[in-house]
Amino acid sequence: MSLLEINDLRIEYVSARGPFKAVDGVSFTIERGEIFGLAGESGCGKSTTAYGIGRLLRGPARIAGGSIRFDGTELTELSDAQFDAYRWARISIVLQSAMNNLNPVMKIKDQLIDAILAHRKGTLRSDALRQAGELMELVDLPKDRLERFPHELSGGMRQRVVIAMALALRPELIIMDEPTTALDVITQKGIIDKIIELKRAFGFSVLFITHDLPLMLEICDRIGVMYAGRIAEIATRERMLAGARHPYTQGLLRSFPSLTGPRARLEGIPGSTPDLIAPPQGCRFRERCPHALPQCGSEAPFVLEDRDGRVNCHLYAKEEAFDEAAVASP
Amino acid sequence: MRNKRTLPRERSGKAKLWGGACILLVFAAVSLATAQIAPYPKNDMEFEVWLKPSAAHLLGTDSYGQDVFSQLVYGTRTSFLVGVLAGLITTIIGVLVGVTAGFYRRWVSDALMFVVDLLLIIPVMALMIILASFLPSMGLTSIVLVIGLLSWLYMARSIRSQTLSERQRGYVEAARVAGMSDLSIMLREILPNLYPIILANLVSVTTHAVLAEAGLSFLGIGDPKNVSWGTILALAHANNAIMYDAWWWIVPPGLATALFCFGFILIGNGSLERFRYKRGASQQT
Amino acid sequence: MKPLLQVHNVSQVYESGGLLRKSKVRAVRDVSLVLGEGEALAVVGESGCGKSTLARMILGLLEPTAGRVEFEGRAVDRRRRGRLETAKRLQMIFQDPFETINSNQRVETVIGRPLQLHGAKGPVRERVLELLGQVGLTPAEDYIDKYPSQLSGGQKQRVMIARALGIGPRVLIADEPTSMLDVSIGIDIMNLMLDLKRDNDLSLLWITHNLGSARYMSDRIVIMFGGQIVESGPTEDVIASPGHPYTRALLHASPDPWRQKTEGEKFDAAEREESGLPESGCRFRNRCPWAREECGQDEVPLTALGADREVRCLFPLPSDPASSPLPHEERTVD
């Protein structure tokens, strides 16, 4: 059984013009000990999905349908009190600007202890302090930093603290939403390496969310690509490195200048994302797709599932007659 | 995308603007056509005293035998002019000082703010009284100047702080890079972004000017020959109108003042809504 | 190639503190570079390296505390009289299109006002429409009357590019203009700038922290660290075989999943101390895996590395990456 099973998840924002369907029928699974990446550009719904899983949605946003099964339990059916038992102990989350949202007037030590005590009530404070020290060691931070305030630490170190916090109760799944986007590339590398090291040591799964597809291809085992609230493609890293299948993923990969290989002009993707209050019929990528077929404008995309992953695209509907090489990225 | 939330706001903004403008237009018209509208000449005291409102005297008469309605009409011109003119002077000085102090930091800003802070400590009304007592005569101009020259202090502070924050914004640097001069940046780039706060202050300052004039008149400072809403109230109070149940002497001037201020508030809020609607609310996906 | 822009030993020192305790921050230290006609030069460095401060000094927005900036042999002058002239020669595209565009102005004003400032007589609408077309905002009539709030991030940036273009500069400085945009839009902007550079014979100074975009946009590259230039040379050469350990660290850290990896590679040059970089000797020595005792003694000068490259290192990496194994393996002794 997979650790996390998302099935036809739908999350919408209530607005005056009608519901804004930020996540419209998203399904994927995450296995134990796996790093699963959710990639996409702004507005595609990846962060909203993460918030939905972690029950962090507020205000006009609400889960409109679908299921979130964690270790067999349907999370959407749990009450807030019941979900609290999962929060941090089994599922924790590292958000994009978390390092900037550390409480500026509390010492690092107190923030770590707070996190531990809040989610495992009944722990002795002295125990929590000891655990805090262990956590700092885990993320390669000197223990004396416990006595410092957040502004005395660099950005990279603060992010390590946040990761330490997320690890406090040894959860099974850690959701990371753009954990390194605001950091310099060398600092980012250090943190990413540390995350992988910790994953190997503790065996947790990671839902890694970013727009940085090359970064994702370096560390994730499987990658899901989202576009306009839906999944375009899910593939293993190897499969995607050999050549993405969905035209959007191909276009996305053509937007990252490379450091090796020939210096060629990249074409990117023309056009812009559709309106998610009144999304187009059929495939949402049709207007920007260089290989659009007539049915793309009316029928929902064909779903092809095989051992390499899943593609939601009409181009893969007729497997025999279809020449995959013609669609492959140049 | 036009969503239902902005359309009503645009309409409500327009409605407020028109509503406020209508109110002020009425007052302006009355100010201009005082002789035509008032049934009796100014300060005509030949009527019976303490008459209740009737067909001949729409708002009755006061204890001096004057027709209250005529007083009100003549008073409208004074109050309107003082309010608008003093409000304008205040705004101009307030904006000039505020923008300059906010744009040029260091000693210019510090010096200006020092003066402002010093003057702010003294209660404005007291300052006005003192200033008024130094003037040889208290005609309309004097009153306008007294109020206008002392009310700009708060406004300058408010504008300055907004200018300070706008100054940090990226577009100011972009304008510098494009080659614009300091003066140009202040007037053409920053100032338009200050309209909301200038408008808010303008409304506040004008209403305060009208009330200040009423206050000064009430206190007896000001031209005794002049009629304004404040003088009417002053006389009503001095002659114990309340004891005589002469509501027609007390309520109309107060109501007129309130209505006048309300007109300005409507215009202010209406303009603000339309401004924000055009600049920020409309989004295209 | 004729040098267009010359930066001579420029420094920027910020002083702060009260009467008793003044602290100095040397944000930019003795930086020199040359930008030729029609050339594209990338300035690469992470945050805090001084590249944005350098850009401001080149533009004349900030007075260097030492050194000078020259355009076609004449000093760049932003004060009073020189203001317009400098603006006519050097323009900048900023990082944040949401902030640098005045939300109170229609597109026509945003682009048109600088046009009028620089001498356009009469109505500028035609010219603005033309510029909008050049930056790909077509049909131009649809965009010219819009307010910034009605434009997307990419469209805003194009408007700012049109504005800069309209002024007609010879040098365009771009400070991370795509970092706040989606990558697919970012690549469009980069392509646009390459096309405009070619069509208008512009010189481009491309400031970024991203080596990939630097490689895409430039012919020559300069790497900055701690306020200094630590390496410079032709982009392809520097990236293919970096001379300075910091450049190597940057390359190693930049995600590139198609690159062949050596097994067990672990090159950790991350910042550990929040106290700042050392003031004596090489500023990178506390993070450098190859640092030796000599690195901490005297200030390290820029030395030539081959025909057209320079590096600020006492022991630059040899041109064959395989012969300088990473620190956990055996160290090669020179």
pLDDT, position B8: 57
Report yes or no on A177 lying in a domain. Answer: yes
Q: How many CB atoms lie within 10 A of CB A147?
A: 11
pLDDT at A232 > cutoff 90? yes
Chain C residue closest to A269 (CA)?
C184
Give the integer Cα–Cα distance in Å for B96 and B212.
Answer: 22
> Across the interface, which of C103, C117, C152 has its CB nearest the CB of B178?
C117
User: Which residues of chain B have a CB within 8 Å of the CB of A276?
Assistant: 285
pLDDT at C273 > cutoff 70? no
pLDDT tens, residue by residue, C39-88: 999 999 998 899 999 999 998 888 899 999 999 888 887 666 678 888 88
DSSP code for A62: E
pLDDT at C37 > cutoff 80? yes
Phi–psi pair at A147, nearest 5 degrees? -85, 0
User: Which residues of chain B have a CB within 8 Å of the CB of C87?
Assistant: 177-179
- Determine contact: B1 vs chain A, CB below 8 A: yes
Mean pLDDT of A304-308: 86
Give the closest-approach CA distance of A8 to chain B in angstroms.
Answer: 25
C221 contacts C239 by C-beta, under 8 angstroms:
yes
CATH number at residue A223: 3.40.50.300
Chain B residue closest to A16 (CA)?
B4
Cβ separation C185–A152 shorter than 8 A: no
Q: Higher-confidence residue: C138 or B35?
A: C138
Q: How confident is the model at residue B13 (pLDDT cuts 50, 70, 90)?
A: confident
**Architecture label for domain B10-34+60-279:** Orthogonal Bundle (1.10)
C163 contacts C114 by C-beta, under 8 angstroms:
yes
Give the integer Cα–Cα distance in Å for A13 and A153.
Answer: 37
Mean pLDDT of B244-260: 86
pTM above 0.80, yes or no: yes
CA atoms lying within 13 Å on the CB side of residue C21: 0
Chain C residue closest to A215 (CA)?
C255
pLDDT at B7 > cutoff 70? no
- State which residues form the domain around A237: 4-90+171-302+312-327
Phi–psi pair at A91, nearest 5 degrees? -130, 125
Give the closest-approach CA distance of C122 to chain A in angstroms.
Answer: 35
Edge-first strand order for the sheet with C66-71 is C23-36, C3-16, C66-71, C74-75
Report how many Cβ contacts below 8 Å link chain A to chain C. Answer: 109
User: Which residues of chain C have a CB within 8 Å of the CB of A269?
Assistant: 184
- Site from A185, A187, A196, A246 to mutate, C interface, most C CB atoms within 10 angstroms: A185
pLDDT tens, residue by residue, A78-113: 998 899 888 888 999 998 877 777 888 999 999 999
Give the closest-approach CA distance of A165 to chain C in angstroms.
Answer: 19
User: Which residues of chain A have a CB within 8 Å of the CB of B1?
Assistant: 17, 275, 277
Please, which residues 3-42 of chain B have a Cβ atom closer than 8 Å to chain A? 3-5
> Across the interface, which of B171, B173, B279 has its CB nearest the CB of C61?
B173
Give the closest-approach CA distance of A275 to chain B in angstroms.
Answer: 6
Chain C residue closest to B176 (CA)?
C61
Cβ separation B3–A275 shorter than 8 A: no
pLDDT at C116 > cutoff 70? yes
A284 contacts A275 by C-beta, under 8 angstroms:
no
The structural domain count of chain A equals 1
pLDDT, position B175: 93
Give the integer Cα–Cα distance in Å for B90 and B93.
Answer: 5
Q: How confident is the model at residue C318 (pLDDT cuts 50, 70, 90)?
A: confident
Give per-residue burial for C259-268: e unless 16+ CB within 10 Å, then b: eeeeeeeebb
Cβ separation B285–A17 shorter than 8 A: no
pLDDT at A123 > cutoff 90? no
Give the integer Cα–Cα distance in Å for C203 and B283.
Answer: 35
User: Which residues of chain B have a CB within 8 Å of the CB of C92?
Assistant: 174, 177
pLDDT tens, residue by residue, C211-225: 999 999 999 999 999
Cβ separation B280–C96 shorter than 8 A: no
User: Which residues of chain A have a CB within 8 Å of the CB of B3?
Assistant: 15-17
Cβ separation A254–C187 shorter than 8 A: yes
- Determine contact: A42 vs chain C, CB below 8 A: yes
Q: Rounded to 5 degrees, what angle do the CA atoms A74, A78, A84 make?
A: 115
Chain A residue closest to B285 (CA)?
A275
Q: Tokens in use for B196?
A: 């909301």
Query: For chain B, which chains pass the contact test of at least 3 CB pairs under 8 Å?
Result: A, C
* For chain B, domain boundaries: 10-34+60-279
pLDDT tens, residue by residue, C228-268: 999 999 999 999 999 999 999 999 899 988 776 654 456 66
Cβ separation C266–A193 shorter than 8 A: yes
B104 contacts B190 by C-beta, under 8 angstroms:
no
pLDDT, position C329: 38
Taking an 8 Å Cβ-Cβ cutoff, which residues of chain C contact chain B? 59, 61, 78, 83-84, 86-88, 91-92, 94, 96, 98-105, 113-114, 117-118, 146-147, 149-152, 160, 163, 167
Give the closest-approach CA distance of C321 to chain A in angstroms.
Answer: 14
Report yes or no on A162 lying in a domain. Answer: no
pLDDT at A125 > cutoff 90? no
Give per-residue burial for C212-240: e unless 16+ CB within 10 Å, then b: bbbbbbbebbbbbbbbbbbbbbbbebbbe
- Determine contact: B106 vs chain A, CB below 8 A: no
Reference A302, options A316, A292, A322; nearest CA is A316
Reference B256, options B76, B78, B83, B87; nearest CA is B76
User: Which residues of chain A have a CB within 8 Å of the CB of C47?
Assistant: 184
Q: Is A149 exposed, middle or buried (0-12, 13-18, 19+ CB in 10 A)?
A: middle
Q: Which amino acid is at A192?
A: I
Domains of chain C with bracketed CATH: 3-223 (3.40.50.300), 241-256+266-323 (no CATH)
- Determine contact: B283 vs chain A, CB below 8 A: no
Whole-complex ipTM: 0.87
Give the closest-approach CA distance of C53 to chain B in angstroms.
Answer: 13
- Site from B3, B177, B279 to mutate, C interface, most C CB atoms within 10 angstroms: B177
pLDDT, position C132: 94
Report yes or no on A39 lying in a domain. Answer: yes
Cβ separation A275–B285 shorter than 8 A: yes
- Site from A151, A189, A288 to mutate, C interface, most C CB atoms within 10 angstroms: A189
Q: Which amino acid is at A185?
A: V
- Determine contact: C255 vs chain A, CB below 8 A: yes
pLDDT at C175 > cutoff 70? yes
